[in-house]
Amino acid sequence: MLESMNDNLQPAEGQQPEISITETNLEMPISENVNQDVIESIDATNAEESEDTSIKEKHDIPMMDYSTLTMDALVGELEKLHLADKVLSVKDHVEEIKKEFLSKFHHFMEEKREEFEAENQDPTETFSYHFPLKNTFDELYKTYKNRLNQHYKSLQKTLQDNLEKREAIVEELRNLINPQESIKDIVKHFNELREQWRALGPIPRDKYNIVWNNYHFHVENFYDFLHLDREARDLEFKHNLEQKQRIIDRVKELINEADIIKAFRELQDLHRIWKEDIGPVSRDVREAIWQEFSELTKKMHDRREELLLAQKAVEQQNADKKKEIIEQIQALVAQPGDSHGQWQKLMQHMEHLRNEFFAVGKATAEVNEELWTAFKNAVRDFNVAKNNYYKGLKNEQQSNYQLKLDLLQKANELKDSEDFAATTPLMKQIQDDWKKVGHVPRKLSDKIWEDFKAACNHYFDRLKETRKESLSEELDAFEKKKAYLETMKSFEMTGDHKTDLEAIKKHIEHWKTLGKVPFSRRHIEGKFNRILDALFQKLSLSKKDSDIVRFTNKMEQLASGDDHRKLIQEKIFIQRKIEELQSDIIQFENNMQFFSNAKKDNPLMKEANKNLEKHKEDLKVWKEKLKQIQVIEKGE
């Protein structure tokens, strides 16, 4: 490039003019304008890498698609890189990791803030969320930045020293031509300056092209204007031409390399060698050989552009995939769940879509930010819908909590009751009611359940102990009743109705005093009732009175056996029976009106009267039975 630039400078006869060359002084030939952007891009890269040779090593470290990694994985990658020996070689990698981590972190914190605001209605509460991974990231990044700043600080002094020395050499080259000195001394001095130049290190990148342009300008002018030994100059030109031709041959090989990215990096090195290490060639081939090098560079550039276009096509596919994922998230928002179970499935699906989105890879730069924003908005809409549901669920759970508090209070009030017969069904009902109440807030669930369970266990443990004590008494009562049955078998009727009835009643009363028997042995009550039935049959007692006595005895046995459910069922049955009889009696009386003109000895009328009287007698019996149950209930 410098060779062609210098061709625009018109040589003068004799003493060369004193010209300070800058990038604005130099103009590209028309033939090179097509390739100018490519060449300038390569020069800029070489200027950067010449400042610190470790920058070149960044190409040896694979640049991952960090957008596909989780925050944990990103921190893991940063941990691998933050202590790299060549701190500049990983700079691009570290900054890319930082960009992706912070993007994901801010999105994560937005979700946590939305969850907090959904769960906390108190405006005085301040959102706070501790995320240890962020602290780890900050520490690693801080360590790297401190090392990078220290490196820059050390580098700047070295770069500035080298710049001043190179500028001094350029100045000496400018003043090298001195007619008072011998050609031999001038050439010797020139070679010394070139050796000093080659021994110097890097300079600031913003001065790179200016200093090198000035250097090449004065070197070329030295060859063009100084009356040197033509043979020596031609040998130098020939040597330089051979080196540049070898570079051109290598570029021709690189054009066909499979790894175009690696080949293009080598091309950048060849440009640096062309510019920094190889001297000028003769004027008659200077433009031609540079033009050939430039055109080959353009071909390499075009091949790389083809690869980049292919990569862009992949990125476009990634963009399309991300759009599909965003649409799927939006579809979840459009059909929200209406139960905790449904929302759990939706949240699992949402997490799958989120991971899939991050795993897709980079989209095209033109839409990448737009897609990221759309993704965040879709996720935010999902979270808003989810939070609204759980906010309503939380209110419901708070109401459930109050219901369970009320049940807990009732259980605590009853747990020490001594009236087990009355309290046990109440405690069982409280337990049933507890099961019907829905979920309560998770942070309160365990505590209130443990308290409720403790109250119930306390009561039923006491009930169990009481029943253990009563079992012994019931077994004793069974033995007594068993023995008493033998006594009843030997009971003889006197024949006197009143005396025998009183005796039977005394037997019944005594039987009651013997106590309750175990449930598994209540068959003994049936044996006693059968003996009573036999005695009542021998006794000249009306059927009504006999039924009432037997019924009363049976109901008292149910009451004494704590079988309240059967007692209630019996009462309901009697009430329905009374209603049926009353309805039938009304119907019979209405039917009797059809016989108002019939004779008393009419068979149909006799049958109707008979049925009516029977129903009235039955009604009296059932009413008496209901009365006996009511007396027993009051006695309890």
Contact 628, 555 (CB under 8 A): yes
Alpha helices in 490-522 (DSSP H): 497-513
Contact 319, 364 (CB under 8 A): yes
Here the tokens at position 188 are 């010797």
214 pLDDT higher than 50: yes
Amino acid at 55: I
- Alpha-carbon gap, residue 561 to 553, rounded angstroms: 12
pLDDT (average), residues 530-541: 76
- Alpha-carbon gap, residue 147 to 141, rounded angstroms: 10
**Closest residue by Cα to residue 213 from 22, 19, 16, 17:** 22
User: Residue 16's pLDDT band (boundaries 50, 70, 90)?
Assistant: very low
Residue 91, phi then psi, degrees to nearest 5: -60, -50
431 pLDDT higher than 90: yes
284 pLDDT higher than 60: yes
540 pLDDT higher than 70: no
Here the tokens at position 58 are 């960044």
Contact 37, 330 (CB under 8 A): no
Report pLDDT for 503.
84
Highest mean pLDDT among 20-29, 182-191, 422-431: 422-431
622-625 long-range contacts (CB < 8 A, ≥24 apart) are 622/574, 622/577, 622/578, 622/581, 623/578, 624/544, 624/548, 625/547, 625/548, 625/551, 625/574
User: Residue 178's pLDDT band (boundaries 50, 70, 90)?
Assistant: low
Alpha helices in 82-182 (DSSP H): 91-119, 132-174
Percent of all residues in the chain with a pLDDT value above 70, rounded to a whole number: 83
35 pLDDT higher than 80: no
Highest mean pLDDT among 17-26, 74-83, 258-267, 318-327: 318-327
User: Residue 328's pLDDT band (boundaries 50, 70, 90)?
Assistant: very high
- Alpha-carbon gap, residue 407 to 432, rounded angstroms: 10
Least confident of 18-32, 142-156, 202-216: 18-32
- Alpha-carbon gap, residue 205 to 208, rounded angstroms: 5
pTM for the predicted model, two decimal places: 0.47
| DSSP structure class, residue 258 | S
Least confident of 28-42, 398-412, 583-597, 605-619: 28-42
Average pLDDT in the chain: 79
Alpha helices in 335-364 (DSSP H): 340-359
pLDDT digits (tens, 9 = 90+) for 380-418: 888 888 888 888 888 888 889 999 999 999 999 998 998
298-302 long-range contacts (CB < 8 A, ≥24 apart) are 298/34, 298/35, 298/38, 299/255, 300/251, 300/254, 300/255, 300/260, 300/263, 300/264, 300/267, 301/38, 301/264
**Closest residue by Cα to residue 435 from 407, 465, 393:** 407
* 3-state SS assignment for residue 471: helix
